[in-house]
Chain A
Amino acid sequence: MRGAVAETPSAKGVELLDRKKIDTCVQCGMCLTSCPTYRELGVEMDSPRGRVFLMKSVKEGRLQADALFAKHMYLCLDCRACETVCPTGVPFGSLVEAARVVVEQNRHLPLMTRLVRDLAFRRLLPHPGRLPLLGTILRQAQRLGLLAVARLLALGRLRNWLMFVPDLSAPPFSIAEVTSIQPTGSRRGRVALFWGCVAPVLLPNVQRATVQVLSGYGYEMVVPDGQTCCGALHLHNGLREEASALARRNLAAFDKSGGIDAVIVNAAGCGAALKEYPELLHGTAEEERAKRFRALVRDFAEFLAAVPGTPDAGRLKTTVTYQDPCHLAHGQRVRREPRQLLKSITDLEFKEMRDADRCCGSAGIYNLLNPELSERFLKAKLDEASKTGANIIVTANPGCQLQLQAGIRQAGLATEVLHLAELLARAYGLDAGGKA
């Protein structure tokens, strides 16, 4: 039967769907209850098992890579919670990313998705000058109260998107200020910082705190010139070529950083992407270079937790809970380290929330494209966070941070949402240059 149906023309690009990876899935369904979209929708085709089944069907020519396939592939958050529970190690993230390239090649994406993507991913993120400019415009607009007005006047999607603009009262922190920073404590080593694109513009204090904490730990920092967006969003949205081009630019930039102990990333999504450059550039001339680079990449928490003896344990009287960014917990398997750093702070009460490693609904640009579903995930997350009674929700990824902050503002709660670096800077008494 299989032979007969295979006669129908296959979708374009099916060779991207790796047969071996697909066959790793034995359809056991252990992933179902870990999958946020399956939990919410209860639809098999919106579970990891169902999605792999769809991919397999497309691969074998029994299904076209049509609009329905595109819908199911894009309803996935790419949170990779399924990878954590999968008994056979299906590389689901890499599969769904390939499936989205197939969707791309068969041109079945909704117009809105394509518009947002082209504007953000092609015209904005790869250009180092444009984001700060947008940041300046937003900052001035917020200062003059224009954003609030815009929010009142805006309709539909735009109104929803404006919700995600954070408090921009802190002064910007430009890459130019930090090409090389000396340690404040006794010198331990030298690291390179991965700067990122969105975070420094919308969350300058996170960048500031990262630098302060690392410097307090005794690290000299370099911020290699010529680095750019990590390409994670491109990769997650079917733009593999663009992602590869960005990866090559970053590899070239960090090659010039000289003797370093590590490349530090403070955004979970970027960190996971950087660590997966060898796979992205597999079979190209840059693969070896990518492997050498990957060996140096460390998440901020992963790196600090491995430093023997903290400079000063720090002190902060407050109650915090921690939200695992998906691409840190599931993508990089870093869970223990941020908790360990938080628990080492004197007077700080750490309260674990239930389902801390379930996606908050931010998921790259998911919250912009699927606002309704995203809001349901966000609400569940904030409910669990409030049950802990924490004053501060700590996370470690700009996407999660902006999402949680938006949710907190909308719900009129007083809870603070901080990046781990911001909390550590505060506990170590380093955040003097913070809010201006």
Chain B
Amino acid sequence: MRVVHPGTREEVEEFLESAQAKGTRVGVRGGRTLEQILPDEGPAPDLLLDLSRMNRITSIEKGNLLARVEAGAVTAAVQKAAEAEGLFYPPDPTSLETSTIGGNIACAAAGPHQLRYGGTRDFVLGLHVVLPSGKLIRTGADMQKSVAGYDMTRFLIGSGARFGVVTGAVLRLLPKPQCRRTVLCSLPSFSAGVSVALAVMKCGITPAAMELLDLQCLEVDRDAWTSLGLPRPGAARGESLLLFELDGVEASVKRQHGQIERLCADQGEALILTLHDRDKASQAWGLRRRLLSRLMAATPTWAMAVAAVIPEQLPAPFSPDELPGAPISDGSTCVACFAHAGTGRLHFFVGTDPANEREGGEAIALVGRRLRRLRGAGGKLLHTYGPARRLLGEIETSSPALMDALGAIQRSFDPNGVMVP
């Protein structure tokens, strides 16, 4: 496999044109954050286009509320550039310090902000795509509203690199909210966390983000969380955490804050912490973003299931007779659960040690039971990640008829099968 680092769109066109002529199979990579959780997936391409050099943020246009960027621009850098102009790019996949806009587009990435704002899909106005033939197409427009013809932009977002190589994007921006507040709500049990999250959804406010972490997630970064002022994980009121970002005009943030305080008070033992210090707030979100890496490093091998359920069914996977998220042992086997609580997206992490098969087996079985209950409640297993992912079962595939139709579309874009998604 040869890795090349094109610096311009024209170079990408040339690489694809010559690959087409020679029958070379081409792959694309950005920040390689998917490789972290999906190692050794599928066949390796002959030629790998690494777009990290194409990282220019061409313009941030305040009046037009948009940004023009190259595909290799790191998501956090785009956010920062927008903030510097008093603007806001909400999509916040947890890998944003490393992942690129091109990568976010390829896998339709989203993060905690999905709740109020949506994900990458909702903030891309247009794309520059080099087709497998080496020809450039543009989709969408520079305008917030453009309805003529098919919505090719949305079709290409989340398509991997099946239909071509995204080299640039026009992103939609918002004015930066006047006020932002990070609120930590530490609770006596995981189910209390779930109840508060559901109550928040019903009470008529939409936080910018509402993340739920179980005990094991807090344990794995125990010192950092306690240094922010949380009780020691496992202590009274320290069994789970709801992490909120509230934003908007000041009065609205105050109102949301008050609502959440009232709902938590209903849970009796809740402890509420408001991080007014901006450094501390960003530290808390940094801890949330690094959670998966911490869990991965804590155990010899691991797997994670990402599933979704309607918010009202959020408690369904958890049985009252098991301690959700409690450490199965203090060794290297662990089961952890964290969720984008407002959107009903759940992450079931299981870390195991091949040296301790019995405990590992029990941990996997526990996650298996949770996934069965989740499916029973109408939920869906969306992805499995990690070296041990096969143990968590198969994700649902689309119907054969749909797969055929998609295959036909793919062949019309890439008749010679050059692209390796």
List the interface of chain A (C-beta within 8 A of B): 23-30, 32-33, 42-44, 49, 85, 87-89
Contacts and interface: CB of A to CB of B under 8 A. Distances in A.
Interface string B147-176: 000000000000000000000000000000
B98 A27 contact: no
A29 B296 contact: no
Contacts of B36: 26-29
Given A23-B297, A32-B31, A32-B74, 5 more contacts: A28-B290, A32-B98, A42-B72, A44-B32, A87-B297
A49 B36 CA distance: 11
22 contacts: A24-B297, A26-B293, A26-B297, A27-B32, A28-B293, A29-B36, A29-B99, A30-B98, A30-B293, A32-B74, A32-B97, A33-B97, A33-B98, A42-B50, A42-B55, A43-B5, A43-B50, A44-B50, A87-B290, A87-B297, A88-B296, A88-B297
Contact of A29 (B3, B31, B50): B31
B313 interface: no
Interface in B377-403: none
A413 B72 CA distance: 36
A28 B33 contact: yes
Contacts of A87: 290, 293-294, 297
Contacts of A85: 97
Most chain B CB within 10 A, of A26, A43, A44, is at A26
A43 B74 CA distance: 14
B35 interface: yes
Nearest to A42: B53
Q: Is the interface of A mostly helix, strand, loop or mixed?
A: loop
Interface of B: 3, 5, 31-33, 35-36, 50, 52-53, 55, 72, 74, 76-77, 95, 97-99, 290, 292-294, 296-297, 300
A278 to B, nearest CB: 22
B5 A33 contact: no
A88 B35 CA distance: 18
Among B35, B76, B98, max chain A CB count under 10 A is at B98
Contacts of B3: 44
Contacts of A33: 74, 76-77, 97-98
Contacts of A88: 290, 293-294, 296-297
Contacts of B55: 42
B105 to A, nearest CB: 18
Nearest to B3: A44
Nearest to A30: B97
Nearest to A87: B290
A43 B77 CA distance: 18
For the complex of A and B, list the 10 residue pairs with the smallest distance between their C-beta atoms, beginning with the closest: A87-B290, A29-B98, A88-B297, A42-B53, A26-B296, A28-B293, A87-B293, A27-B36, A42-B52, A26-B293
A249 B97 CA distance: 44
Contacts of B97: 29-30, 32-33, 85
A96 B58 CA distance: 36
Contact of A28 (B5, B50, B76, B98): B98
A29 B77 contact: no
Contacts of A89: 297
A28 B35 contact: no
Contacts of A25: 297
Contacts of A43: 5, 50
Residue among A24, A25, A32 having the largest count of chain B Cβ atoms under 10 Å = A32
Contacts of B32: 27, 29, 44, 49
A50 to B, nearest CB: 9
A32 B32 CA distance: 11
A28 B289 CA distance: 11
Nearest to B5: A42
A373 B32 CA distance: 25
